[in-house]
Structures are given as C-alpha cells and as structure tokens.
C-alpha cells in the first residue's frame, strides 16, 4: 500500500496451518485418523485424536496411550494381533457425541506372551464391547472407569488376568469369561459394579483358580454373578468370607450367585448372611464363615499412576449424578432419623423398623461404597456414628433387609 508521501508499506497476515483431530460436532474440521497398521511402536502422550477407522497393532509392535484422549466414530476400533501389545495409562477413549457406539478394543494372544494388555487409570465409554480379549495371558485391568456397553470386559479362553479396582456402570454385563484354558491364578477384586443387568457372567469357563473378592455389586437388575456350566473355585474360607457386598432390587432366586457346574462353597459370615437355595440346577452352597474378609489396599502395579478419581474428576461427577438419580431417597420416612451432635462430630441414627436376623445399617459414600456396616439386633434403637474421620460432603445412610436397601437417606457432612 502506498502512503501519501509516496512510500510503500505492507500488511502481513500470518496463517498457522494445523491439523485438528476431534469429533465433527466439537467445532473443528473433524479431520480424522483413518485406518492404519503400526509399522513401528507408537506412543501418544498428552494428545487428542479423532479416530474414524481401525488401528491395527501387529506382532512385535506396541500402541501406548498416556494422558491421551481418543474420540471414536462408530466405525472405529483398536485391533491388537498376536504378539502385539496395548498400554493405556490415564487416558480416555470415548464415542463422539451424537454418533452410534464405536466397536471397542479387540486383543488376540497366543497363550504365551504375558503383559500383552495393560489398562490402568483410564476411562472407556460408549463402545459396543469395550474390551474383548481372546487367548490372552496376563492382562492387567486396574483402576479404570467403564461406562455402557453390551459386555464391558470379555475374556475368551484367557488366563492369569487381574481385574481390580475398576468401576463398571450401566452395561448389560460387566465381565464375562468363557473357555477351558486354566489360569495359574486370576483375580477379580475390589471392583464396583452399578446399574448392570448382570455384573459377572461365566459361560463354560474354567475358573478353578479365580479369586472373586471385595467387590461391590450395586443395583443390578438380574444377577451379581451368573455362572453357567462352569467350574468355579470355592470363594472364601471357614475363617473369612470373600467380602463381596450385594445390594439389589433383583427378584431373581439366588441373585447374589447363580451357579450350575461343579459343587462349590460360597462362605458367608453372620453379618452378611444369605442362603443359596437348591433350585434351578444350583450347585453352589452357602457355608458359614467365622468373620468378614479383609480388603487391604493394593500397591500400584508396575508403575505409579494417577488415581481414576483424580484423572477423571469431571467424568466421575457426571457418573455420580447419573447413579444417584436411580437411588430411592426416602427423605420423609421417620423410621430412620439422623440427629447430629456438632460438639463431638458424631451423629445418632434413630431407627424403628421391621426387624429380621439379616437387617443391617449402612453408611455409603457417593460411589455407593460402604463405609459403615452394622448388624441391627432389635427393631428399635440408636446407632452412634463418629464422623471425625470423614471429609465434608454428601453421604447416604440406610437400612438393608435381606440384601435390599429398603430405606435410603442423604447425610451432608460439613466441617
């Protein structure tokens, strides 16, 4: 441009060209990673991608996601072939809003390569079948959040797996195992299942060396554990029960554990007593245990990771709100009243109820995890709860009768 004094000046426009990988409805151009096969091991760190195809991980290659988000189209999935490896650490894989569910993660092994699958501290949601493992040895799935799905974690002929400290929400099935392959040792422990049709399903499975303990089964519509034509190890011992916790409106017979297969014992202590009825081909029996099992915290496996609650605080809050909406809150039910004593941080729970030998008082946090669990020995009385160890926030307290929550109320702690 020429000025009045005859000089020429220039205006500069700087254009930055970048590739945005996000869902089409998130305000970018929706540029996607299409189907591809790894030619070398690939690591995504603190990244965000929109996936519209199949990512294939062949033998001797490894796909790692760390602090990364993958948004998936309905055609998207991750396929790990025998000899390939998958590692998800503090990452998120979700369906794009408004699109149909994505396919999921499929891993095939050869029964010999251990450490093929490592999923820790991550969130996976909106997939048809989020994690499908076939002939895989030594999978570790720990401290994750899974939301929706037909079957969240499917293990076909897979062995020596550890599935612990995960949260499974709103799926038809949480975990399913099948196949005759025998583990040296497998564990399903300290998981939280809420609003699933059936939390755990065994079909023609050999679970002779499976430990199933310290799990919370909340608000399942059908069964906590449904074992069909399978071999299952005794759960618990004469001295300790397996410390699983069941709260459900299900009217299915033996909804805590339906098992037909080998003869097995499920040990129960007097506080958590329920009886399996010998109907519908049931081959499991409840056997007395002298005390409740202990659920000690685990050390992180192989590496230090951010906890699920920290890594996905926003997601957790949404999930909590969804979960709380399904709980019946009996705010005006005078059969159960809380009277606080601010002077010493205690609360007195007054109750007047129909009483049976299996009536209990429970105090739960927002996740439905039980913090206080007390047997009630009479129809009317007072329970004193010391709240000094609990942080400020919302809790729930209620009455359990025969494994079902009959009264639930809110309790807000403010310090």
Type and span of the H or E element at 322: helix 313-324
> How far from the centroid of its chain's Cα atoms is residue 306's Cα?
16
* pTM for the full predicted model: 0.73
On whether both 286 and 349 belong to a single domain, the answer is no
What pLDDT sits at residue 332?
63
On whether both 372 and 299 belong to a single domain, the answer is no
What pLDDT sits at residue 353?
85
On whether both 35 and 130 belong to a single domain, the answer is yes
Question: What strand order describes the sheet that includes 370-375?
Answer: 370-375, 359-364, 393-401, 404-413
What pLDDT sits at residue 342?
66
On whether both 146 and 257 belong to a single domain, the answer is yes
Q: Which of 277, 310, 343 is the last residue of a domain?
A: 310
On whether both 28 and 143 belong to a single domain, the answer is yes
- Whether 19 is covered by a domain: the verdict is no
Type and span of the H or E element at 407: strand 404-413
Q: Give the total number of structural domains in the chain.
A: 2
- Whether 14 is covered by a domain: the verdict is no
For 254, list phi and psi in degrees, rounded to 5. 55, 45
CATH number, domain containing residue 364: 2.60.40.10
Dihedral sign computed on CA atoms, order 244, 245, 250, 251: positive
What pLDDT sits at residue 190?
94
- Whether 317 is covered by a domain: the verdict is no
- Whether 271 is covered by a domain: the verdict is yes
User: Is-contact 266 236, C-beta < 8 A?
Assistant: yes
On whether both 192 and 141 belong to a single domain, the answer is yes
Per-residue pLDDT tens over the stretch 133-145: 999 999 999 999 9
- Whether 319 is covered by a domain: the verdict is no
What pLDDT sits at residue 346?
85
On whether both 159 and 205 belong to a single domain, the answer is yes
User: Is-contact 323 194, C-beta < 8 A?
Assistant: yes
What is the rounded distance in angstroms from the CA atom of residue 161 to the CA atom of residue 111?
A: 12
> How far from the centroid of its chain's Cα atoms is residue 145's Cα?
5
Per-residue pLDDT tens over the stretch 102-117: 999 999 999 888 889 9
What pLDDT sits at residue 185?
92
Stretches in the chain below the pLDDT threshold 70: 1-22, 24-31, 97-99, 271-273, 296-332, 342-343, 367, 415
On whether both 114 and 157 belong to a single domain, the answer is yes
Q: Which of 258, 276, 310 is the last residue of a domain?
A: 310
- Whether 29 is covered by a domain: the verdict is yes
What pLDDT sits at residue 209?
95
What is the rounded distance in angstroms from the CA atom of residue 29 to the CA atom of residue 17?
A: 12
What is the rounded distance in angstroms from the CA atom of residue 59 to the CA atom of residue 53?
A: 20
Pairing of strands 404-413, 336-341: unpaired
Per-residue pLDDT tens over the stretch 16-55: 333 345 676 665 555 678 999 999 999 999 999 999 999 9
What pLDDT sits at residue 9?
40
Task: Give the residue numbers spanning the domain of 396.
Answer: 329-413
- Whether 147 is covered by a domain: the verdict is yes
């Amino acid at each position: 441009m020429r000025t009045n004094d005859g000089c020429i000046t220039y205006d500069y426009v700087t254009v930055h060209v970048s590739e945005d990988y996000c869902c089409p409805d998130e305000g970018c151009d929706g540029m996607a990673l299409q189907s591809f096969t790894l030619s070398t091991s690939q690591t995504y760190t603190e990244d965000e991608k929109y996936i519209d195809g199949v990512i294939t991980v062949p033998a001797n290659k490894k796909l790692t996601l760390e602090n990364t988000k993958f948004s998936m189209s309905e055609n998207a999935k991750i396929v790990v072939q025998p000899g390939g490896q998958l590692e998800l650490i503090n990452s998120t894989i979700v369906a794009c809003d408004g699109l149909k569910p994505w396919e999921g993660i499929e891993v095939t092994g050869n029964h010999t390569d251990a450490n093929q699958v490592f999923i820790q501290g991550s969130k996976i949601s909106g997939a048809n079948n989020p994690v499908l493992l076939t002939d895989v040895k030594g999978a570790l799935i720990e401290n994750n959040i899974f939301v929706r799905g037909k079957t969240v974690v499917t293990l076909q002929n897979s062995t020596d797996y550890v599935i612990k400290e995960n949260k499974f929400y709103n799926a038809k099935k949480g975990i399913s195992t099948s196949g005759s392959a025998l583990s040296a040792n497998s564990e399903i422990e300290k998981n939280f299942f809420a609003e699933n049709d059936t939390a755990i399903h065994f079909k023609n499975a050999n679970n002779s060396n499976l430990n199933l303990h310290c799990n919370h089964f909340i608000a399942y519509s059908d069964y906590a554990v449904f074992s069909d034509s399978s071999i299952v190890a005794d759960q618990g011992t004469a001295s300790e029960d397996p410390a699983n916790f069941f709260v459900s409106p299900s009217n299915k017979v033996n909804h805590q554990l339906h098992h037909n297969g080998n003869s097995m014992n499920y040990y129960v202590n007097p506080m958590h007593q329920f009886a399996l009825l010998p109907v519908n081909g049931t081959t499991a029996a409840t056997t007395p245990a002298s005390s409740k099992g202990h659920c000690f915290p685990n050390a992180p496996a192989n590496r230090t990771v951010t906890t699920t609650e920290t890594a996905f605080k926003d997601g957790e809050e949404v999930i909590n709100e969804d979960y709380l909406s399904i709980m019946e809150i009996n705010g005006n039910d005078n059969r159960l009243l809380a009277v606080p004593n601010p002077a010493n941080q205690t609360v007195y729970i007054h109750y007047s109820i129909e009483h049976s030998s299996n009536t209990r008082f429970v105090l739960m946090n927002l996740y439905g995890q039980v913090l206080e669990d007390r047997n009630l020995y009479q129809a009317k009385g007072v329970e004193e709860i010391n709240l000094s160890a609990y942080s400020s926030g919302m809790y729930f307290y209620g009455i359990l009768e025969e494994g079902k929550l009959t009264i639930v109320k809110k309790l807000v702690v403010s310090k």
